[in-house]
């Protein structure tokens, strides 16, 4: 075909020559937006049905269109559909094939519709389905963590601040901390679903349409609560995609924190946990190694998702209303972030369920570095009425004495403690052991085993309804 005779069948009426090869390469999105084929066909079926019901197209044309679209769906899912980069995107690929199958009736499908509201719809449908899948994956990980919390409600371990031993806690309580994080991630996903529950179809290019369309019909057919209220905002909005990425980045950050702890805990120096063979790898040169590669990759993939969030925010930040081609850069970010987050959630669920907990190592570490010092200070306040700052000073002297003697706080003699303050009694030993320290933390949200078991029951009830 010569340049002088070129005319793109979809949009090229006013163009006399074909696009440059580089233009075709940068403009085409079919290599990645073919992922939207099912959503595109679903939206087109709803649009065609509405056009028929409102009398904009005839029933015969509608029936041909519906048959052709379902045929295309079968071809794509069967692997026989031929995608063409010259047709730019999934919408044009499907429409061109529709014309091959049913002839001129295919041209009526695009009545009262633009690629602008078409892609806004397809992308929304895809993100909505992915959010629902993400919520299910978050629930699965939360259930795994709740199960481990129930199993280890009374398993003591060191709690850390600044990665220094601070106070004894239970492993169950630690697991439930991540359940709380994931519940907020799930809430963000649910909130994003609620805010995107409006149908873009019918906004057309940016101004709406003069055809007597029924946007409420298509919204209902596609599972939305209502159509969008402003046609300009409709085709220029990608908030739902940014919200997905923001949720994904936050969730990934939480997963990365847990992954980091698993990496640390699985070192021989800590020895708190051991990952199963299913989530570990070996070394090509050091046969003794068990590498926590799954956890490390969860940690690393967080960077990819963070990058996608920043990329889309940057794409959108300077765009005038309404649609600009820049917005084509939204999909690869979402597709990759969604795949990464799904893999991270699935891998972390497997690691949590499979890991072996070394209770003895945790218990030993829980009592290190005078972790019950705060319990001594609290006892001085409660039992002797001492101001906390004074109690803090006395406790500091007790720690120094224990360091000098090379023993734990609860191994100091009563005479040693009385030398620090004469009113200290034998009752002080009721709080100085790790087990008694943990058991005493009964304030709401505290680490006491009785609290952990109550929270486990509460989370099991909530997750059963999810």
pLDDT digits (tens, 9 = 90+) for 331-353: 999 999 999 999 999 999 999 99
Q: What is the pLDDT of residues 307-340, one digit of tens each?
A: 999 999 999 999 999 999 999 999 999 999 999 9
Buried b (16+ CB within 10 A) or exposed e, 291-325: ebebbeebbebbebbbebbebbeebbeeeeebbee
Angle between helices 449-464 and 115-151 (to 10 degrees): 140
Residue 13 — pLDDT band, cuts 50, 70, 90? low
Look at phi and psi of residue 218 and say left if phi exceeds 0, alpha if psi is from -120 to 50, else beta.
alpha
- The DSSP bridge partners found for residue 158 are 168
| Helix (H) or strand (E) run with residue 164 in it | strand 164-170
Q: 126 to each of 97, 143, 196, 239, 241, how far by Cα in Å?
A: 22, 26, 12, 14, 10
Task: Give me the phi and psi of 434, to 5 degrees please.
Answer: -60, -45
Q: What is the pLDDT of residue 409?
A: 83
Rounded Cα gap, residues 201 and 214, in angstroms: 10
Q: Are 87 and 96 in contact (CB under 8 A)?
A: yes
Handedness of CA 337, 340, 345, 348 (dihedral sign): negative
How many residues can be counted in the chain? Answer: 466
Q: What is the pLDDT of residues 405-443, one digit of tens each?
A: 888 888 888 988 889 898 888 988 888 888 888 998 999
Q: Which of 9, 75, 10, 8 is nearest to 41 (CA)?
A: 75
Rounded Cα gap, residues 441 and 298, in angstroms: 33
Rounded Cα gap, residues 232 and 204, in angstroms: 9
Mean pLDDT in residue range 374-398? 90
Q: What is the pLDDT of residue 4?
A: 39
Residue 20 — pLDDT band, cuts 50, 70, 90? low
Q: What is the pLDDT of residue 3?
A: 42
Q: What angle do CA 405, 410, 413 make, to 5 degrees?
A: 60
Percent share of the chain, pLDDT over 70? 93
Q: What is the pLDDT of residue 51?
A: 98
Rounded Cα gap, residues 156 and 449, in angstroms: 9
Active site residues: 162, 283
Q: Is residue 27 over pLDDT 80?
A: no
Residue 276 — pLDDT band, cuts 50, 70, 90? confident
Rounded Cα gap, residues 37 and 237, in angstroms: 21
Look at phi and psi of residue 131 and say left if phi exceeds 0, alpha if psi is from -120 to 50, else beta.
alpha
Q: What is the pLDDT of residue 5?
A: 38
Mean pLDDT in residue range 274-298? 76
Rounded Cα gap, residues 415 and 400, in angstroms: 15
Q: Are 84 and 128 in contact (CB under 8 A)?
A: no
Q: What is the pLDDT of residues 79-134, one digit of tens each?
A: 999 999 989 899 999 999 999 999 999 999 999 999 999 999 999 999 999 999 99
Q: What is the pLDDT of residues 204-259, one digit of tens each?
A: 999 999 999 999 999 999 999 999 999 999 999 999 999 999 999 999 999 999 99
Task: Give me the phi and psi of 459, to 5 degrees please.
Answer: -70, -35
For 228-257, give the DSSP string. -S-HHHHHH--HHHHHHHHHHHHHHHHHHH
For residue 327, with 0-12 CB atoms within 10 Å meaning exposed, 13-18 middle and 19 or more buried, which class applies? Answer: buried
Instruction: For residue 210, give every residue at least 6 positions away whose Cβ sits within 8 Å of its Cβ, in sequence order, or none.
Output: none
Q: What is the pLDDT of residue 7?
A: 42
Q: Is residue 150 over pLDDT 70?
A: yes
Q: What is the pLDDT of residue 53?
A: 98
156-161 and 164-170 strand pairing? antiparallel
Rounded Cα gap, residues 140 and 255, in angstroms: 13
226-227 and 356-357 strand pairing? unpaired
Percent share of the chain, pLDDT over 90? 73
Q: Are 240 and 231 in contact (CB under 8 A)?
A: no
């Amino acid at each position: 075909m010569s340049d002088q005779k070129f005319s793109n069948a979809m949009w090229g009426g006013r163009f006399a020559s074909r696009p440059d090869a580089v233009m075709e390469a940068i403009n085409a999105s079919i290599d990645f937006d073919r992922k939207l084929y099912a959503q595109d066909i679903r939206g087109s079926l709803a649009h065609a049905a509405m056009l028929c019901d409102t009398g904009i197209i005839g029933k015969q044309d509608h029936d041909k269109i519906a048959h052709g679209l379902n045929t295309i769906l079968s071809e794509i899912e069967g692997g026989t559909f031929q995608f063409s980069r010259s047709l730019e995107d999934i919408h044009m690929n499907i429409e061109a094939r529709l014309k091959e199958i049913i002839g001129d009736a295919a041209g009526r499908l695009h009545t009262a519709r633009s690629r602008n509201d078409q892609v806004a719809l397809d992308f929304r449908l895809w993100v909505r389905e992915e959010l629902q899948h993400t919520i299910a994956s978050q629930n699965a990980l939360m259930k795994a963590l709740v199960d481990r919390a129930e199993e280890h409600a009374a398993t003591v371990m060191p709690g850390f601040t600044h990665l220094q031993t601070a106070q004894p806690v239970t492993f169950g309580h630690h697991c439930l901390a991540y359940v709380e994080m994931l519940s907020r991630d799930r809430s963000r996903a649910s909130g994003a679903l609620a805010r995107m529950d409006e149908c873009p179809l019918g906004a057309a290019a940016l101004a709406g349409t003069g055809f007597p369309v029924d946007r409420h019909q298509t919204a209902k057919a596609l599972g939305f609560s209502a159509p969008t209220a402003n046609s300009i905002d409709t085709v220029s909005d990608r908030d739902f995609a940014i919200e997905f990425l923001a949720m994904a980045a936050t969730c990934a950050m939480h997963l990365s924190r847990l992954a980091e702890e698993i990496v640390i805990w699985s070192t021989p120096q800590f020895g708190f946990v051991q990952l199963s063979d299913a989530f570990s790898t070996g070394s090509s040169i050091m046969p003794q190694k068990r590498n926590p590669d799954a956890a490390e990759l969860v940690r690393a993939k967080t960077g990819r998702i963070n990058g996608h969030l920043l990329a889309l925010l940057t794409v959108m930040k300077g765009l005038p209303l309404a649609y600009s081609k820049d917005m084509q850069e939204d999909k690869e970010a979402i597709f990759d972030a969604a795949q990464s987050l799904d893999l991270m959630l699935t891998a972390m669920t497997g690691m949590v369920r499979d890991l072996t907990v070394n209770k003895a190592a945790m218990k030993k570490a829980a009592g290190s570095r005078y972790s019950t010092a705060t319990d001594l200070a609290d006892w001085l306040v409660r039992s002797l009425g001492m101001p906390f700052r004074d109690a803090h000073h006395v406790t500091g002297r007790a720690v120094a004495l224990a360091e000098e003697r090379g023993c734990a706080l609860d191994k100091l003699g009563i005479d040693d403690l009385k030398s620090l303050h004469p009113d200290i009694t034998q009752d002080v030993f009721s709080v100085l052991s790790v087990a008694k320290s943990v058991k005493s933390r009964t304030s709401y949200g505290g680490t006491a085993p009785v609290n952990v078991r109550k929270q486990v029951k509460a989370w099991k009830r909530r997750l059963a309804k999810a």
